[in-house]
Amino acid sequence: MKRLWLKGVRCATGLAAAAAILAPTAAHAQIRQVTSSDHHQAIGFTLGGFFPKGFDSRDERDTILADSDSLLFDLKDFNGLSVGGEWLVGLTDYLEAGVGVGFYQKTVSTVYANFENDNGSEIDQDLKLRIVPMTATVRFLPIGRGGVEPYFGVGIGAFNWRYSEIGEFVDFSDSTIFPGRFIAKGTAVGPVVLGGIRGPIGDALSVGGELRWQKATGDTGGIGEGFLGDKIDIGGWHALVTMHIRF
């Protein structure tokens, strides 16, 4: 009986030792299974700049293009901060869908090139453009999810915009100078094309860079509403730094 009891104790001790060794290994295996490729959703934040299309590629009826014939400014003056947020959902290892919203606003101060007040002072005005893009996109990840992820995608955007010209203006019919406040706003729909690359920092966070192109034009109302052009071209490029929290 004593021998049987000792044998049982030895067996139980051996099983306990084996369990103690195997338990951390099994737990580690479970932890290892949860990698960045297992996250199928992400909330993202973007920060960068918006760069409107240049004079040579703008819509020929664009009011900013028409203003450039008489006012002193450059399209680069409209380059400005672009911020946004988005929600991404992984559809497969190589495909994901996303929706997002952004914000851009810039005021450009300018003066007439060939006119001035009777006292010699400049005739100045502020041109202000605001765009709130709301987009839906589909992205393709050519090497799949997990690790460093290059991607490109296409989508559609609804661009809520507001454009204003406020200050002093010249009536070219009789060269009189008058104060004015002209505002146009609306929502234009157009395509979005994007591409970028992102990489993981830890398991739940990724950072990267992205280029995004948009194309859309809105209606200003033209001369009847005080604008030299009847369109506002809100196309251009976003250059963005991205950060995503995965879950």
pLDDT in tens, 90-119: 999 999 999 999 999 999 999 999 999 989
Of 34 and 174, more confident: 174
Predicted local confidence at residue 37, as pLDDT: 55
What band does 40 get if pLDDT is binned at 50, 70 and 90?
confident
pTM attached to this predicted model: 0.83
Please give the DSSP secondary-structure letter assigned to residue 53. P
- Asked if 19 and 115 sit in the same domain, the reply is no
Backbone phi, psi, residue 145, to 5°: -90, 150
Q: Where are the alpha helices (DSSP H) in 104-180?
A: none
- Asked if 60 and 115 sit in the same domain, the reply is yes
What band does 23 get if pLDDT is binned at 50, 70 and 90?
very low
- Asked if 77 and 96 sit in the same domain, the reply is yes
- Asked if 194 and 227 sit in the same domain, the reply is yes
Contacts of 29 (CB under 8 A, 6+ apart): none
Residue 29 has pLDDT above 70, yes or no: no
Predicted local confidence at residue 175, as pLDDT: 85
CATH of the domain at 64: 2.40.160.20
Q: Count up the domains in the chain and report the number.
A: 2
Which residue bears the tokens 């008489």?
Answer: 70
- Asked if 156 and 67 sit in the same domain, the reply is yes
Residue 245 has pLDDT above 50, yes or no: yes
- Asked if 15 and 88 sit in the same domain, the reply is no
Cα four-point dihedral sign 81, 106, 67, 124: negative
- Asked if 27 and 134 sit in the same domain, the reply is no
How far is CA 32 from each of CA 15, 18, 25, 199, 203, rounded to the nearest angstrom?
25, 21, 10, 18, 10
Predicted local confidence at residue 13, as pLDDT: 45
Q: Which domain holds residue 6?
A: 1-33
- Asked if 73 and 18 sit in the same domain, the reply is no
Structure tokens at 203: 């398991």
- Asked if 43 and 28 sit in the same domain, the reply is no
What band does 19 get if pLDDT is binned at 50, 70 and 90?
very low
- Asked if 134 and 85 sit in the same domain, the reply is yes
What's the pLDDT tens digit per position in 168-186?
999 988 889 999 999 999 9
- Asked if 52 and 81 sit in the same domain, the reply is yes
The pLDDT of 125-132, averaged and rounded, is 98
- Asked if 48 and 141 sit in the same domain, the reply is yes
